[in-house]
Each structure stands twice: as structure tokens, then as C-alpha cells.
Amino acid sequence: MRAGKKPDLTDFIKGTFSLYDTVVYLLIDTDSTHSYICIVPPVDRGIQTDGLEEDILVTNPLGHSVMVMKVYKGCPLIIQGYEFLVDLIELPFHEFDMILGMSWLSRHQVMVDCQLKRITLKIADGDEITVVGEGILPYH
């Protein structure tokens, strides 16, 4: 999510992964500082929720803004059978189920190749997995 900047479509990768055994349609956005969830997570799974230390004003690439204040801690995102924990800020936009930003990308040492629309992640034993995304977004 960015403020006052026209979106550069090469910065985005989209794909589908699994969160709490539910398929989620997500966006990987290297211009976003935080990671967000735009659907209602299954709160019966023991998700820890907290308020943010400071509310955050988020503006999406379409120019819509909202104040966010709630975060779901340690949600298990499954990619190719491997679990990658993610802290997700609740966001009431509905273009995607989730948005993964630099907080998650840095935490998991993700290498992002925007040109080829793929990411490479380090798994627990030091090996790497590569995921190819679905390409660029058709913003209007």
C-alpha cells in the first residue's frame, strides 16, 4: 500500500496459497510495509489478536483510504507444504484476500523477482523453494 504514488505494475505478484486450510488469493507488494488480511480469519483456531501500537492510515493503489488498528499474530500461511508465519493487519478492502508486504518478505528472507513474477523463500533447513506468480494486475 502506498501513498501519493501511481502504482508500478511491475512491483506486484499475485497467487494463491493456503491459510488455515483455506485457499487465499493474495498479492505480494514490495511497496507495502506491512502485511494485511482482507477476509475474516477463522478466529476459532486460536489466533492471537492485538491492537496496533499506533493506528495506520492505509491507501490502496485505487486511492481508497482507511484507518486500521487490529493485527492477527502468527497466522500459518502454507506454501508448497511449508508453513510461514505471518502477522496480518485487518484491512477492509476486498481486491484480495491477503497482501504480503515487506514485513513478511524480510522476515522470511524472500527474494522477489518482479520481472519473472516469482519469489524464492528459505525454508527451515536452509533450502529454498520457488513460487511462480500469476503475473501483473489489471488496474483501472
* Terminal-residue alpha carbon distance, the chain: 16
In this prediction the pTM is: 0.81
For residue 1, the surrounding DSSP H or E stretch is none
Class of CATH domain 9-132:
mainly beta
- What residues pair up with 65 in beta bridges, in sequence order? 59
- What residues pair up with 118 in beta bridges, in sequence order? 113, 132
Q: List, as one string, the DSSP characters of 45-71.
A: G--EEEEEEEEEEEE-TTS-EEEEEEE
pLDDT tens-digit series, residues 73-95: 999 999 989 999 999 999 988 78
Give the residue among 22, 51, 56, 14 at the shortest CA–CA distance from 39.
22
pLDDT tens-digit series, residues 23-32: 999 989 888 8
Domain ranges of the chain: 9-132
